[in-house]
């Protein structure tokens, strides 16, 4: 092979890729971040440069992707059985926390980053619900053991990964307000897990009848 031909071949390959990227951009003008198109460009059919233009572009995460845990709550319902929405936050209002404050998650957590305070009745007796619930998200190693061992399906692993902040001592100690997310959110990000839980619940109900 003539001297330098390999180098030229390499440059030709790179230049073709760059050119195809611009062709693709013009071809899909205004639709670059369209979900369907993005998937196509990231698939084997895609051409051009494959770099994900984060944060404008984000790759979809798999269902079992794990970052930090969240607590699942059942929403408060209106007279038609629809979830009540808090106008201040736009979130579904809390009807009932699924968590019973049993403490299993905090016992099995390898780095011990879960802290739970159980609620009390006016007579001072323990109630099966948490008054406070904290997770230090910088110590959490995203193992998912808490979600795995929870007997009430009330703690699940979230997909949100953009957690950077300017300090950690306040904003990275997630309290019950930050950790709580509605069951509809769990159903949305974990459809397979949710369907299995619903099937199990329906089977238990049917057994009781
Ligand atoms: S294991 Fe589940 S029910 Fe028990 S304290 Fe943890 S989240 Fe709550
Ligand atoms: S994911 Fe693992 S480390 Fe994080 S809170 Fe749950 S058990 Fe602890």
Q: Nearest 5°: CA angle at 15, between 10 and 19?
A: 155
- Where exactly are the structural domains of the chain? 1-57, 69-208
- pLDDT tens profile 157-187: 999 999 999 999 999 999 999 999 999 999 9
Distance (Å) from CA 65 to ligand 2 centroid: 14
Decide which of 75 and 209 is more confident: 75
C-alpha–C-alpha distance, residues 157 and 193, integer Å: 11
The set of residues, in sequence order, having a beta carbon less than 8 Å from that of 91 and lying 6+ positions away, is 85, 182
C-alpha–C-alpha distance, residues 141 and 123, integer Å: 38
- pLDDT tens profile 126-155: 999 999 999 999 999 999 999 999 999 999
Task: Scan for tokens 């159980």, then name that residue.
Answer: 118
The best mutation among 66, 140, 159 to test binding of ligand 2, ranked by most ligand atoms within 8 Å of the C-beta, falls on 140
Q: Give the atom of ligand 1 at the shortest distance from the alpha carbon of 71.
A: 7
pLDDT of residue 180: 97
Distance (Å) from CA 132 to ligand 1 centroid: 12
The best mutation among 139, 141, 147, 150 to test binding of ligand 2, ranked by most ligand atoms within 8 Å of the C-beta, falls on 141
- pLDDT tens profile 46-102: 777 767 778 888 888 999 999 999 999 999 999 999 999 999 888 999 999 999 999
- pLDDT tens profile 95-123: 999 999 999 999 999 999 999 999 999 99
Q: Give the atom of ligand 1 at the shortest distance from the alpha carbon of 102.
A: 4
CATH of the structural domain 69-208, one choice from 1.20.58, 3.40.50, 3.30.70, 1.10.3470: 3.30.70
pLDDT of residue 42: 76
């Amino acid at each position: 092979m003539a001297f330098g031909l390999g180098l030229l071949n390499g440059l030709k390959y790179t230049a073709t890729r760059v050119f195809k990227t611009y062709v693709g951009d013009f071809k899909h003008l205004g639709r670059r971040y369209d979900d369907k198109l993005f998937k196509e460009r990231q698939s084997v059919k895609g051409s051009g440069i494959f770099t994900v233009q984060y944060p404008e572009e984000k790759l979809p995460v798999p269902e079992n992707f794990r970052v930090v845990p969240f607590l699942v709550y059942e929403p408060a319902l209106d007279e038609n059985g629809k979830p009540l929405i808090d106008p201040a936050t736009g979130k579904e209002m809390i009807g009932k926390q699924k968590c019973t404050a049993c403490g299993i998650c905090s016992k099995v957590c390898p780095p011990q980053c879960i802290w739970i305070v159980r609620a009390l009745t006016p007579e001072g007796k323990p109630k099966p619900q948490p008054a406070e619930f904290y997770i230090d998200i910088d110590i959490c190693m995203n193992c998912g053991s808490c979600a795995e061992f929870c007997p009430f399906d009330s703690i699940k692993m979230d997909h949100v990964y953009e957690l950077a902040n300017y300090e950690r001592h306040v904003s990275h100690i997630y309290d019950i307000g930050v950790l709580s997310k509605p069951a509809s959110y769990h159903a949305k990000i974990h459809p397979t897990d949710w369907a299995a839980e619903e099937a199990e619940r329906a089977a238990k109900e049917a057994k009781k009848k």
